[in-house]
């Protein structure tokens, strides 16, 4: 029902031109395959640009796929145009940022190099905006994963059986406040609060690294005896929704449970829940809440 309701929006954002094709630039994690599945359901035949070292080519065995090292991604653009690609989705994680001197560009893009160098130093947001501008200057429209598959966006309210209690609500507020503060600095998207205060903030290591650290922190004297705690993941206020929306999935639930947390809160409609059914099943099994936060909630 929800999917039917959202279909028109997906089709509007992802309108193909006569004979046009969509490319998925696939990084790590579950998101790219979920975007591909949504595209297949919409009758598209996506072309997969698999980032080497990030995407698993075997995940896309039945599709047209081209593995490309991160430093050579820009060289793909002229070829994608020749293949009739008119839309492109960036999906999945990219942990590797190749040294600038290794980057390769098609000759026509050399004029854009100074802009890219600047963006490269500005962090994720600046870089992603430059990459998107770069692609669109070639006449290929960049479409957000959430526009292809809007049912990946977290709805508002509790997603599973477990609901946050009063202590959890206090932790949600503290963790979300911290996550938004570091998001506005473009440092990370996630924070953990325990006992009403933020105790660990996501840096470049990502949410899985943060949760692993939290597991170790449980032994820290200042947390001794403290139970529960909440992971909050929030969209950066300034971020381009066409790349890098915060996401959680079944593994996030397992990691959060191992870190001793009571639950996870994400921005409703601005964060993605990958494999929603499995994520909620795990959360219910492990006794964690998963909450879609409305901005008015905190």
> Using CB under 8 A as the criterion, which residues of the chain lie in contact with its own copies when the complex forms?
53, 95-97, 99, 121-123, 177-178, 181-182, 185-188, 195-201, 203-205, 213, 217, 220-225
23 neighbors 46 (Cβ within 8 angstroms): yes
Nearest approach in angstroms of CB 131 to its own copies is 15
Which CB sits closer to its own copies, 27 or 263?
A: 27
Residue 68 to residue 70: CA distance in whole angstroms = 6
Which CB sits closer to its own copies, 112 or 122?
A: 122
Which CB sits closer to its own copies, 16 or 170?
A: 170
Residue by residue, DSSP assigns 35-64 as HHHHHHHTT--PEEEEETTTS-GGGGTTSE
Nearest approach in angstroms of CB 163 to its own copies is 22
Which CB sits closer to its own copies, 122 or 298?
A: 122
Nearest approach in angstroms of CB 255 to its own copies is 17
Residue 298 to residue 296: CA distance in whole angstroms = 6
Nearest approach in angstroms of CB 102 to its own copies is 9
Q: Using the structure block, give the residue that is written with the tokens 């190099």.
A: 113
161 neighbors 279 (Cβ within 8 angstroms): no
What backbone torsions phi and psi does residue 153 show, to the nearest 5 degrees? -70, 140
Termini Cα distance of the chain:
29
H helices within the chain, ranges in order? 2-13, 31-41, 76-82, 113-121, 124-136, 145-148, 166-184, 206-217, 250-258, 276-286
Which CB sits closer to its own copies, 66 or 218?
A: 218
**Rg (alpha carbons) of the chain, rounded to whole number:** 20
Nearest approach in angstroms of CB 186 to its own copies is 7
Nearest approach in angstroms of CB 226 to its own copies is 8
Which CB sits closer to its own copies, 148 or 200?
A: 200
Which CB sits closer to its own copies, 50 or 283?
A: 50
Nearest approach in angstroms of CB 203 to its own copies is 4
Residue by residue, DSSP assigns 160-195 as SS----HHHHHHHHHHHHHHHHHHHTTS-SEEEEET
Q: Using the structure block, give the residue that is written with the tokens 């593995």.
A: 67
* C-alpha distance from residue 213 to each of 36, 210, 252 (Å): 33, 5, 14
């Amino acid at each position: 029902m929800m999917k039917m309701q959202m279909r028109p929006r997906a089709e509007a954002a992802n309108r193909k031109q006569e004979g046009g094709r969509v490319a998925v630039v696939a990084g790590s994690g579950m998101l790219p395959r979920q975007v591909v599945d949504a595209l297949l359901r919409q009758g598209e035949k996506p072309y997969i640009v698999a980032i080497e070292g990030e995407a698993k080519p075997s995940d896309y065995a039945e599709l047209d796929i081209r593995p490309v090292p991160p430093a050579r991604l820009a060289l793909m653009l002229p070829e994608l145009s020749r293949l009739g690609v008119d839309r492109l989705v960036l999906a999945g994680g990219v942990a590797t940022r190749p040294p600038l001197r290794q980057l390769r560009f098609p000759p026509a893009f050399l004029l854009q190099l100074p802009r890219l160098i600047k963006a490269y130093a500005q962090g994720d947001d600046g870089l992603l905006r430059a990459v998107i501008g770069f692609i669109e200057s070639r006449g290929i429209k960049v479409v957000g994963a959430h526009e292809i598959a809007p049912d990946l966006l977290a709805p508002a309210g509790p997603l599973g059986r477990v609901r946050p209690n009063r202590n959890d609500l206090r932790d949600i507020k503290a963790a979300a406040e911290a996550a938004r503060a570091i998001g506005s600095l473009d440092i990370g998207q996630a924070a953990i609060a325990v006992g009403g205060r933020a105790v660990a903030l996501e840096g470049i290591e990502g949410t899985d690294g943060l949760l692993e650290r939290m597991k170790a922190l449980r032994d820290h004297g200042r947390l001794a005896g403290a139970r529960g705690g909440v992971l909050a993941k929030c969209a950066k206020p300034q971020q381009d929704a066409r790349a890098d929306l915060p996401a959680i999935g079944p593994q996030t639930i397992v990691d959060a449970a191992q870190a001793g947390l009571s639950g996870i809160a994400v921005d409703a409609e601005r964060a993605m829940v990958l494999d929603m059914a499995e994520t909620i099943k795990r959360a219910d099994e492990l006794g964690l809440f998963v909450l879609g936060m409305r901005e008015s909630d905190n």
